[in-house]
Amino acid sequence: MISSIEVKIKACVIHRVGNKLRDEGCILSENQYDNYDSIHEFLIEYFFTPFKSEEYYSFYHNIDKSMNEVYMCVHEIFSNPNTILHQSIDLSKHLYEQSTHPKVKGGEFYVVYFEDCIVDGISTNAIGLFKSENKDTYLKIQHKSNGFMIESEKGISLNKLDKGCLIFNREKENGYVVAVVDNVNKGAEAKYWTDDFLHVRPRKDNFNQTQNMLSLCKSFVSQLPAESGKIEKVTYMNRSVAALKEESVNVDTFAEQVFGTPELVSKFKQYKETYQKERDIEIDDHFATVSNAIKRKATGTMTTIKLDKNFDINIHGGEQYIERGYDEERGMYYYQLFFREER
- 89 is in which domain, residue-wise? 2-202
Most confident of 121-130, 235-244, 298-307: 121-130
10 Å CB burial of residue 221 (0-12, 13-18, 19+) is buried
**pLDDT at position 7, please?**
93
CA distances for 15 relative to 19, 43, 93, angstroms: 14, 16, 10
Phi, psi of 26 (to 5 degrees): -125, 150
What distance in Å separates the CA atoms of residue 11 and residue 85, rounded to the nearest whole number?
9
One domain, residues 77 and 15:
yes
Question: Over 70: is that where the pLDDT of 299 sits?
Answer: no
**pLDDT at position 225, please?**
83
Q: Whole-model pTM?
A: 0.78
One domain, residues 249 and 144:
no
Q: Which of 145, 180, 202 is the last residue of a domain?
A: 202
Question: Over 60: is that where the pLDDT of 253 sits?
Answer: yes
Question: Over 80: is that where the pLDDT of 319 sits?
Answer: no
Q: H/E element holding 279?
A: helix 262-279
Total domains in the fold of the chain: 2
Burial 285-304 (b: 16+ CB within 10 A, else e): eebebbeebbeebbeeebbe
Whether 184 maps to a domain, the answer reads yes
Whether 329 maps to a domain, the answer reads no
Q: Which of 167, 202, 237 is the last residue of a domain?
A: 202
Question: Over 90: is that where the pLDDT of 197 sits?
Answer: yes
One domain, residues 108 and 236:
no
**pLDDT at position 61, please?**
92
One domain, residues 187 and 226:
no
Question: Over 60: is that where the pLDDT of 297 sits?
Answer: no
Question: Over 70: is that where the pLDDT of 189 sits?
Answer: no
Comparing 292 with 112, the larger pLDDT belongs to 112
Tell me the percentage of the chain whose pLDDT exceeds 70.
95
Whether 211 maps to a domain, the answer reads yes
Whether 311 maps to a domain, the answer reads no
One domain, residues 174 and 237:
no
Whether 315 maps to a domain, the answer reads no
pLDDT digits (tens, 9 = 90+) for 149-167: 898 888 888 888 889 999 9
One domain, residues 156 and 286:
no
One domain, residues 162 and 247:
no
Lowest mean pLDDT among 61-65, 184-188, 259-263, 271-275: 184-188
One domain, residues 164 and 218:
no
Lowest mean pLDDT among 150-164, 183-197, 253-267: 183-197
One domain, residues 98 and 127:
yes
Identify the band that residue 185 occupies on the pLDDT scale cut at 50, 70 and 90. Answer: low
**pLDDT at position 38, please?**
86
pLDDT digits (tens, 9 = 90+) for 62-93: 899 999 999 999 999 999 999 999 999 999 99
One domain, residues 190 and 215:
no
Identify the band that residue 233 occupies on the pLDDT scale cut at 50, 70 and 90. Answer: confident
One domain, residues 268 and 159:
no
| Contact (Cβ atoms closer than 8 angstroms) between residue 84 and residue 75 | no
One domain, residues 169 and 46:
yes
Q: Which of 171, 202, 233 is the last residue of a domain?
A: 202
If you ran DSSP here, which 8-state letter would residue 222 be given? H
Whether 115 maps to a domain, the answer reads yes
For 153, residues 6+ apart whose C-beta sits below 8 A from its C-beta are 137, 138, 139, 140
